Amino acid sequence: MTQIFTATRAQGLAALQAFVPAMGRRYANGRNHDHGPGRHKAVSLLSPYIRRRLVTEQEVVAAALAAHGPDGAEKFIEEVIWRGYFKGWLERRPQVWTGYTQGLQADLAALDRDRRLRRDVGRAMDGQTGLACFDAWAAELVETGYLHNHARMWFASIWIFTLELPWRLGADFFYRHLLDGDAASNTLGWRWAAGLHTRGKPYPARADNITTFTGGRFAPRPGDLAEVTQGLEATEPDGLPPVMPLRTITAPRPGQRTALLITDEDCCVEDFDPAALDIRTVATLAASPLRSPLPVAEAVVRFEAAALTDAALRAGAAPEPLQAEHPEVLAKWATAAGATQIATPYITRGPLQDWLAEATPYLTAKGITLTEWRRDWDLAIWPHATAGFFKVKQQIPRILDQMVPA
């Protein structure tokens, strides 16, 4: 049952090329069908690579356009841009990430206190609920680190509305196990299923829908699943916080003694021409354990480690391996090399950015500036990610003209 992913750019590019013929009509017609582990042929399985930018969104979209044109590849391109939309949306509403982390802490505290809740959450995560489809998806997630997107939606809906479990505990379960786990897509995907992202429009898991799109592998009875009539907006009536400006960054400065930091937020550091800087030291930063207060799946930790090693090799560096433990570790590493700035690709909203915020006072005390490169792809999408996806969708032709010229 184990799904094999090899965390290198070469393997990601090979997977990309293998899927190019299917990026058009085959994807549009088959993308919603979950055929089960080892049989996910209608979807690309590129998400663990795109998540770390071992393969970039721009490369994937360019390949789809070249093979199928903007009309033929429309659905595939939209799905790629959804990731950028979610990233930008959370960048513009960072309070939502803060609310998630605080709420998760409260839910974990309740889990410690409440034996019944602990039992029910344990059964759900262990695939012991008695609901065949849900239990199979829980097992597939833990064993492979992957779930089909449609299964993720059904799973989240069942967790929230049928099993009536705290949504953040479900999101945390996903985040700890998904090889493509991403703070924005994971948090906002669960909020969307709960009716909190597009408020008042929760996602219902319906028996007929599951039967149809699993090819009859699962056939829950209608009474097995809760009828979803409203989302969680009544229990979480805080509404949406105001849209914030994009975070201001300092770009790396030539002529400064530089420490190059590689994280799994972006494993194509060569795209930023680091050779133009005065690089004194290079480090890889392992940050997967920051995803959750609970243990993160070993498969996720291994995938991150392999991706970081591959990124460093392609950058021609022999890096110092760092762990995201006490945040003072960054200042000590850069200071030892005499660096006055740390250069790294942009860190989006999530646990690593929280950790870097804790590290900043230690850097400042040593006269070290944290600098970041931000990709043009993100800057083309994020200014429009202020409401629903439709606002971004309207801009797709312009984004493609700008970022993937013919």
Number of C-beta neighbours around residue 137 at 10 A: 23
Q: Is residue 243 part of a domain?
A: no
Rounded-to-integer distance, Cα 153 and Cα 184, Å: 15
Q: Is the pLDDT of residue 235 over 90?
A: no
Mean pLDDT of 324-337: 97
Q: Is residue 131 part of a domain?
A: yes
Q: Is residue 53 part of a domain?
A: yes
Q: What is the pLDDT of residue 17?
A: 98
Residues 198 and 155 in one domain: yes
Range of the domain at 172: 101-234
Residues 218 and 123 in one domain: yes
What is the CATH number for 109?
1.10.579.10
Rounded-to-integer distance, Cα 47 and Cα 20, Å: 15
Residues 230 and 110 in one domain: yes
Rounded-to-integer distance, Cα 107 and Cα 196, Å: 17
Q: Is residue 247 part of a domain?
A: no
Q: What is the pLDDT of residue 18?
A: 97
Q: Is the pLDDT of residue 233 over 90?
A: no
For residue 275, the Cα-to-chain-centroid distance in whole angstroms is: 29
Residue 236 pLDDT class (50, 70, 90 cuts): confident
Residues 386 and 261 in one domain: no
Residues 76 and 127 in one domain: no
Q: What is the pLDDT of residue 113?
A: 97
Residues 185 and 264 in one domain: no
Three-state secondary structure of the chain: CCCCCCCCHHHHHHHHHHHHHHCCHHHHHHCCCCCCCCCCCCCCCCHHHHHCCCCCHHHHHHHHHHHHHHHHCHHHHHHHHHHHHHHHHHHHCHHHHHHHHHHHHHHHHHHHHCHHHHHHHHHHHCCCCCCHHHHHHHHHHHHHCCCCHHHHHHHHHHHHHHCCCCHHHHHHHHHHHCCCCCHHHHHHHHHHHHCCCCCCCCCCCCHHHHHHHCCCCCCCCHHHCCCCCCCHHHCCCCCCCCCCCCCCCCCCCCCCEEEEEECCCCCCHHHHCHHHCEEEEEEEEECHHHHCCCCCCHHHHHHHHHHHHHHHHHCCCCCEEEECCCCHHHHHHHHHCCCCEEEEECCCCCHHHHHHHHHHHHHHHCCCEEEEECCHHHHHHHHHCCCCHHHHHCCHHHHHHHHCCC
Q: Is residue 353 part of a domain?
A: yes
What is the CATH number for 60?
1.25.40
Q: Is residue 244 part of a domain?
A: no
Q: Is residue 172 part of a domain?
A: yes
Residues 108 and 226 in one domain: yes
Residue 405 pLDDT class (50, 70, 90 cuts): confident
Q: Is the pLDDT of residue 388 over 60?
A: yes
Residue 2 pLDDT class (50, 70, 90 cuts): low
Evaluate if pTM is beyond 0.85: yes
Residues 369 and 384 in one domain: no
Q: Is the pLDDT of residue 3 over 80?
A: no
Q: Is residue 86 part of a domain?
A: yes
Q: Is the pLDDT of residue 198 over 90?
A: no
Strands in 257-262's sheet, in edge-to-edge order, are 320-323, 278-286, 257-262, 341-345, 369-373
Whether residue 327 contacts residue 71, with contact meaning beta carbons closer than 8 Å, is answered with no
Q: Is the dihedral of CA 240, 241, 243, 248 positive or negative?
A: negative
Structural domain count, the chain: 3
Residues 181 and 300 in one domain: no
Percent residues over pLDDT 90 in the chain: 93
What is the CATH number for 271?
3.40.50.620
pLDDT tens-digit series, residues 300-330: 999 999 999 999 999 888 899 999 999 999 9
Q: What is the pLDDT of residue 314?
A: 94
Number of C-beta neighbours around residue 403 at 10 A: 17
Task: Identify the domain boundary among 202, 234, 266.
Answer: 234
Residues 122 and 77 in one domain: no
pLDDT tens-digit series, residues 30-69: 999 999 999 999 999 999 999 999 999 999 999 999 999 9
Residues 399 and 316 in one domain: no
Mean pLDDT of 153-167: 98
**Nearest to 5, CA basis, from 222, 362, 304, 289:** 304
Rounded-to-integer distance, Cα 96 and Cα 100, Å: 6
Q: Is the pLDDT of residue 4 over 80?
A: no
Bigger pLDDT: 233 vs 385: 385
Q: What is the pLDDT of residue 324?
A: 97
Residues 62 and 158 in one domain: no
Mean pLDDT of 276-288: 96
The CA-based angle 212-214-218, given to 5 degrees, is 95
Beta bridge partners of residue 262, listed in sequence order = 284
